[in-house]
Amino acid sequence: MGPQAYKISIRIPQWVRDEMIKPEKGFCLWAGEWKEDFRDTITLGMAPGGIVKVWLGGSCLGFKEVGRYQAKIEPLGPNQDGKGLFYRTPNPAAQAWIDQHGIPYGSW
């Protein structure tokens, strides 16, 4: 199997929107003090096999998992000129590890 690209559309649930506007006291490590903060950051993590996890957090607050999603394979592939999609091969050490162990798709 060659390189692949994935696509996904994620609807942000209402509970996440509600959390984003709710102030909460949190300890800011960077400031060394307690402050009122908002969970105003949505982070997406992508793993092999098209798995996408979404978290909600703030600079002084911990992150809460929003959900785990499965993206679909983009049939046009990763090398779509002018579309900003590209594929970079793993470095030799990473490729050797993948060849020996495989990709643990279900572990994330």
Nearest of 38, 55, 59 to residue 46 by alpha carbon: 55
Q: Which of 7-21, 59-73, 84-98 has the lowest mean pLDDT?
A: 84-98
Range of the domain at 69: 11-74
Per-residue pLDDT band for 107 (boundaries 50, 70, 90) equals: low
Residue 8's pLDDT band, with cuts at 50, 70 and 90, is very high
pLDDT more than 90, % of the chain? 57
Does any domain span residue 79? no
Chain segment 20-45, per-residue pLDDT in tens: 999 999 999 988 999 999 999 999 99
Number of domains composing the chain: 1
Sheet holding 64-70, edge to edge: 41-47, 51-57, 64-70
Residue 33 lies in a domain: yes
6 inside domain = no
